[in-house]
Amino acid sequence: MQSAWPRGGRPLAAIAVVGGLYFSTGMGMDMILALLPAVAAAFAVSSAAVVWVTTARASSRLLSPVFGRFSDRLGRKTVLLPSLALFALGNLGSALSQDFRWLVATQGLAGLGLTGLQVSLPAYLGDLFPYHVRGRAIGALAVCASLGTMLGVPAGAFLAQALGVRAAFLVLGLLVTVLIPLAWAFLESAPGRAHGPAAPAERPAPWHTPLRRGPVRAALFVTLCWLMMSAGIYNFLAAWLKGSLRFTTGQIGLTFSMMGAASLLSNLLIATFSDRLGKRRTMLIGLGTGAASLVLLSLAAAPWQALAAVVLYVLTNEFGFGAHGVLVTELAPAQRGMVVSLNMAAWGLGVTAAPLLASLLWRAGGFPAVALTMSGMGAIALAVAYFFVISPSAAALQPAATTR
């Protein structure tokens, strides 16, 4: 069997840099969620108002198609380096913020950089690895994002508890800054040309071309529903742990570390089963178990029950959405960057809208109401994925099957 990994030299160094980038994105995505109660206390805002920080970050994802267009035309590296710079500047600016509105603005800037990374990194890996090993490679490298949650989030939480929330933003900003020269030195603009983007001499298709394909539209709708569900849970998880179960900021950080371990396991499962069991079947199993696990989360009352339910939810949630993401990278290979970015825009729309709905549910019935109601969004995502999102390999075999 052909190895999924390049051997020696510059390609292997590029993989190591990509792993570092995934680590920083994992830490950057989840640390703010763990710190929301501490941010609310530091800036004297309510639990319902503090989620505007995550809304500002998520709204940046609506610009994902811009990043995707540039990624397909100019190369992944051309998008990735400025995105790293924005991610670093946003977090360093947050470390200097004295006003909540300034924090929202700087985290919005960090979210813009994070969006560019989340568009360019999967597209880069889609270019680098052929289809038959892509699920294995993406799942294995996404483990680094889980490590960012496991190690980076509790470190940031304990920093915030000891020195204040600004110290956590400072450390993250410096980490990302260190990665900028490494990415410039080792990453290529367009790796794997044989199964990657079109040659520069070819005129790229219009940005909206992928939207003409039914499976692409269905995949984007699955992302929208699933991220509304996930964001609704994650935005109020720390407030629930602190308010109802009396967790400290450090304990919340450790909880997110456990969630990172569950995410790591989910990525290993994707790497193991996505290519063997089938990308579509793997996705459906993950989406189904993810939506069902929210029922258990809504019933948790004791700390040990909450921890067990949270870990189970994260395992199934990340498994389903990660498997869905692997399938997305192959739905329109010639416009991989644009498809990934449209998927990210659907992600951003879901994460932007979720706090508004979840805030109403939070006021009406607390976290159990949020968890139980949001499971409906997961059920909708599962239904759409089952009926409309098809496997690219199955679609490729369809003409041959009908002519027999």
Q: For 128-141, how does the pLDDT look when each residue is reduced to its tens digit (9 = 90+)?
A: 777 677 777 777 77
Please check whether residue 266 is in contact with residue 319, taking contact to mean a CB–CB distance below 8 angstroms: yes
Residue 118 pLDDT > 70: yes
**Region of residue 97 (left: phi > 0; alpha: psi -120 to 50; beta: else):** beta
Tokens in use for 358? 């979840």
pLDDT of residue 391: 64
How big is the CA angle at 27 (ends 234 and 108), to the nearest 5 degrees?
Answer: 70
**In which band, very low, low, confident or very high, does the pLDDT at 110 lie, cut at 50, 70 and 90?**
very high
8: confidence class by pLDDT, cuts 50, 70, 90: very low
Does residue 399 surpass a pLDDT of 70? no
Distance in angstroms (rounded) separating the CA atoms of residues 397 and 295: 38
- For 34, counting Cβ atoms within 10 Å of its Cβ (0-12 exposed, 13-18 middle, 19+ buried), the class is buried
CATH numbers and ranges of domains, the chain: 10-192+210-398 (1.20.1250.20)
Q: Is 394 a residue whose pLDDT tops 70?
A: no
pLDDT at 9: 44
| pLDDT tops 50 at residue 43 | yes
Q: Exposed, middle or buried, 240 (CB in 10 Å: 0-12/13-18/19+)? A: buried
Q: Which residue has the higher pLDDT, 231 or 174?
A: 174
Work out the pLDDT band at 392, boundaries 50, 70, 90.
Answer: low
pLDDT classification of 351: cutoffs 50, 70, 90: confident
Whether residue 210 contacts residue 331, with contact meaning beta carbons closer than 8 Å, is answered with: yes
- Whose CA is closest to 222, among 6, 352, 388? 388
pLDDT value of residue 199? 41
Please give the backbone phi and psi of residue 99, each rounded to the nearest 5 degrees, phi first.
-130, 140
AA identity, residue 377: M
**How many CB atoms are located within 10 Å of the residue 19 CB?**
16
Residues 266-307 have pLDDT tens digits of 878 887 887 788 888 888 998 999 988 888 888 888 888 888
Q: State the chain's mean pLDDT as an integer.
A: 80
Instruction: Name every residue whose Cβ is closer than 8 Å to that of residue 385 and which is 6 or more positions away in sequence.
Output: 218, 219, 222, 283, 284, 287, 324
Q: What is the mean pLDDT of residues 313-320?
A: 89
Residue 245 phi, psi dihedral angles, 5° rounding: -110, 0
- Compute the distance between CA of residue 272 and CA of residue 201 in angstroms, rounded to an integer: 38
- Residue written as token pair 């490729």: 396
Query: Contact, 149 vs 263, CB < 8 A?
Result: yes
Q: Assign 188 a pLDDT band (cuts: 50, 70, 90).
A: confident
Look-up: residue for tokens 């190369």? 75
pLDDT per position as a tens digit, 141-173: 777 887 888 888 888 888 888 888 899 999 999
Per residue in 373-389, pLDDT (tens digit) is 888 889 999 999 888 88
- The overall longest dimension of the chain from CA atoms, in Å, is 70
